[in-house]
Structure 1
Amino acid sequence: MTAVRRAVPVLAAALLLLGSAGRAGATGYRYWSFWERTGGEWTYATQGPSAVRPDDGAVQGFRFAVSADSADASRPRGAADFGTICGRTPAKSGTKRVALVLDFGTAADAPSGERPPGRRTACARVSGDATTAEALAAVAKPLRYDSDALLCAIAGYPEKGCGEQVSAKGGSAGPGNTAGSGKSGGSGSSSGSGPSLGLPIGAGVVAALAGAAVWQARRRRDDTG
């Protein structure tokens, strides 16, 4: 029992060390996420806006923010009711109406030297087979995409950058580190594995340290036995 008690502080210290290391190395990506309104709630889109063909009456949103992955992504803020956004746009044969919520995010998430515009909504009247990307282009130009079809800017914001990796302190983590096509909110691909690697790696470290602590406890017990 004494040996086990001696092992507990070692394991506790290991867990504290892992937790502090995880916080220090936390990173995210600065990008536009894409959302669909279902049952009065925002749901992170599983396809990109160029692949989704919403029905008449749909409500869809975009939010610019820094987040690690889809589970951590910030939802569009404010009211998102189709009647409020498109109430003055009557139905018309051969077209559909798509209510769009455009949340340009906060100053804390903005690229250096840029200031986010205010949140706004728009009702896009587009052809019946139009995609969300086409609806967005009808009301929020200029749009900017990268070579992997990741949505980089809406209404010209931000002026530069595209899905870049951001350090825990909010600065760029370095050139070439981008969300790329791994962000489903931008390109329609599944979430990238980069930001999520920390959990299994961390679990492995905890297991190794725990094993070392138990081994040390047993060795002390054998030495005194």
Structure 2
Amino acid sequence: MAQHRQCVAHQWRCRTFKTRAGHGESAGRNYGRVSNAQRFADDRQHDFARWCVHQAWERAGLVRSSWFRDRLAEMDAGYRAHPHFIASTHARNRIDADPQIRLMVVGGDTDDMGGDEAIATRRVRQGVPVAYRGRDTDRDILNPQRQPPMLFHGHPGRITSPAMQHILVDWVGLEDEPASFAVGYCPHTIDGGWAGPVVPALAEISEDEYLLRKQRIDKGERPIP
């Protein structure tokens, strides 16, 4: 089965966490969407970064692992990053091997998706129009009144961040939802931790196809009839 994992890092309003003494300002803080964290003072940038890590790891289920919980505690205490995060393949191997961490499969068997072919990794760049190859989902849409109400199979969007470990896409009509600004996608990894040849969850589409699908969504229709 051509299954693939969705790389999740959520940075929106969720439950907050308590930090160590010396970072009391962030205790109980609840950040919303932040457009330019570089404008924060240094101490608040660090506080915001810790908040993001907590939200991402909790959302992705990494805190089920005692090893990852220990890394969070070290981060909150101000220690330097664990060497396995400097050589990140070691941390990735832990995610794959730890039975306490549930891996999220998006779209199931992508060979059965039909239609759009997965985008080649070498084609991933900012501004490229893409379509979602997974099944319909409203998992990462916070506003219940949002139109469209979900991320559809075949949904059009544009890549906003081509970082290979966490590709972000602005999905049409969902630009202000976590589905666009927080949920990322990534290719399979191959031996040595290198990016594989395709990003299974995304398909490259033409500008004409992007416009056609956008028009359908704007009219309240599915992007693919």
Instruction: Give TM-score scaled by structure 1 length.
Output: 0.26
Larger Rg: 1
TM-score (norm 2): 0.26
